[in-house]
């Protein structure tokens, strides 16, 4: 979803998120640690970088957490919380060693029932709870991943859709965006059902609620990219003790901050070795910022595309270790909008090895300043920050190419879409995981 909902000012049908935003602190400048599904969620729920927890690619393509005891569910379980997972998760591949105390099967895998069943099961679970033990409930939704929902023309007229930058505004892309709007509207309906059930359970006033997304929307130049179109996320936190209610902050925030924030607010032990910091000072209004920079990474998505970035309030610097002369198109989900770019020569376009963007004068991050001599000093400072982070976090990319997981699969550079051959396979590959 990125930040594309009405809570962040977009004309999309998400009244429950908008209402929740007014009850919460809304983080306007929050970023994921990896704009691709499993690495993002792994970093979010451990407070460690994706490469530190071994999540270089997607769970269903052979990657997995190397230490499930670092997962937030495991940390809270050890601290006395009952932990439950309902719906989608994408950070561990096999249920054996599941970090949650309880898994409630949603039922259907078909859309739209998939998300509606998750919301209904979560609502039922909240209303039926009798245990006085404190709980942590994770609810994961599929939408607005593609394939998108059917967009009723009366509810989502194509002529009134406006695809965001950096997408072209054309008839076909407006049709695509209508599907996104319908999908995010369905997701908002699910949020509303869960929030209403929490109210009815009597626990709304003693439960911290967080709504967040894993990365940018699944369109070209967005998901799987290290500009704000890929890393920018929805992040809203409601604490019944009321710090931050109906306020927003422009402070730089990372998904890596989620685990230390939750543990801090609950008074639970915060492990050593986390790369995040508690956002409690922002919630309580005692500080205007808690970090100078955020970092993000991509290694594998559909295909191998190693790149890293560092972002401050003013600059975003991206470095790529990808050596093929043309973009890995399998790292972009197949949508109507992608077809537009394919029809206009996207497969033949080049790839930047370094990028530097001025976030004040170029907030859309379209004009690359990396090669201009007048920005050499700024680029050197940002590059130094990135080098230091990679060294401190023991990023194996510093030592050369990161090999495919022995149990994994990946698209090659010739693949046009994630589901298209050709593929490469690890020596112990046994087929895709569920």
Q: Does 411 reside within a domain?
A: no
- 418, part of any domain: no
pLDDT by residue (tens digit) across 406-432? 999 999 999 999 999 999 999 999 887
Instruction: CATH number of the domain at 13, please.
Output: 3.40.720.10
DSSP three-state, residue 134 = coil
434 lies in a domain? Answer: no
pLDDT band at residue 95 using 50, 70 and 90 as cut-offs? low
Decide if 284 is inside a domain.
yes
Report the pLDDT value the prediction gives residue 111, as an integer from 0 to 100.
Answer: 86
Instruction: Give the chain's domain count.
Output: 1
Q: Which residues contact 163 (CB under 8 A, 6 or more apart)?
A: 169, 173, 174, 176, 177, 219, 337
432 lies in a domain? no
d(CA 359, CA 318): 13
Residue 366's Cβ-side half-sphere holds a number of Cα atoms within 13 Å equal to 7
CA nearest to 300, candidates 397, 389, 366? 397
Is the per-residue pLDDT at 403 higher than 60?
yes
Question: Is residue 213 in some structural domain?
Answer: yes
Does residue 414 fall inside a structural domain? no
| Separation between Cα atoms, residue 14 and residue 17, nearest integer Å | 5
The verdict on residue 426 lying in a domain is: no
Tell me the Cα Rg of the chain.
Answer: 21
pLDDT given at position 433: 67
Angle (CA) 212-203-276 rounded to 5° is 35
Average pLDDT of the residues in 278-300? 97
Assess whether pLDDT exceeds 80 at residue 97. Answer: no
Q: What is the pLDDT of residue 354?
A: 98
Check: pTM over 0.85? Answer yes or no: yes
Residue 415 pLDDT = 97
| Full residue range of the structural domain in which residue 199 is found | 1-404
């Amino acid at each position: 979803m990125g930040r594309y909902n009405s809570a962040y000012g977009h004309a999309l049908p998400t009244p429950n998120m908008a209402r929740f935003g007014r009850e919460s602190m809304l983080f306007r400048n929050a970023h994921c640690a990896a704009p691709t599904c499993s690495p993002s969620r792994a970093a979010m729920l451990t407070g460690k970088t994706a490469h530190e927890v071994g999540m270089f690619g997607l769970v269903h393509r052979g990657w997995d957490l190397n230490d499930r005891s670092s997962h937030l569910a495991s940390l809270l379980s050890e601290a006395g919380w009952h932990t439950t997972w309902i719906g989608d998760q994408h950070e561990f591949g096999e249920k054996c060693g599941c970090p949650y105390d309880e898994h409630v099967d949603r039922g259907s895998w078909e859309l739209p029932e998939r998300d509606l069943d998750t919301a209904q099961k979560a609502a039922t679970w909240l209303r039926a709870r009798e245990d006085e033990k404190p709980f942590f409930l994770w609810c994961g939704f599929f939408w607005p991943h593609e394939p998108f929902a059917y967009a009723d023309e009366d509810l989502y007229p194509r002529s009134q859709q406006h695809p965001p930058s950096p997408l072209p505004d054309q008839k076909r892309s407006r049709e695509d965006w209508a599907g996104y709007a319908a999908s995010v509207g369905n997701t908002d309906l699910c949020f509303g059902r869960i929030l209403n059930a929490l109210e009815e359970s009597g626990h709304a006033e003693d439960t911290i609620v967080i709504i967040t997304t894993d990365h940018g929307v699944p369109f070209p130049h967005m998901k799987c990219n290290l500009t704000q179109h890929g890393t920018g996320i929805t992040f809203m936190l409601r604490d019944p003790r009321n710090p931050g209610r109906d306020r927003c902050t422009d402070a730089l925030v990372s998904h890596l901050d989620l685990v230390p924030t939750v543990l801090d607010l609950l008074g639970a032990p915060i492990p050593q070795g986390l790369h995040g910091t508690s956002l409690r000072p922002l919630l309580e209004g005692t500080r205007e910022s808690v970090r100078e920079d955020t970092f993000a990474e991509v290694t594998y998505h559909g295909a191998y595309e190693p790149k890293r970035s560092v972002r401050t309030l003013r600059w975003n610097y991206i470095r790529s270790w990808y050596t093929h002369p043309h973009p890995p198109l399998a790292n972009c989900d197949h949508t109507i909008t992608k077809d537009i770019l394919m029809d206009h020569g996207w497969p033949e376009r080049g790839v930047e090895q370094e990028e530097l963007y001025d976030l004040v004068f170029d907030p859309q991050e379209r004009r690359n300043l990396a090669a201009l001599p007048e920005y050499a000093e700024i680029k050197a400072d940002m590059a130094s920050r990135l080098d230091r982070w990679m060294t401190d976090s023991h990023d194996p990319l510093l030592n050369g190419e990161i090999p495919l997981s022995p149990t994994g699969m990946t698209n090659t550079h010739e693949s046009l879409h994630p589901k298209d051959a050709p593929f490469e396979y690890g020596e112990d590959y046994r087929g895709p995981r569920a």
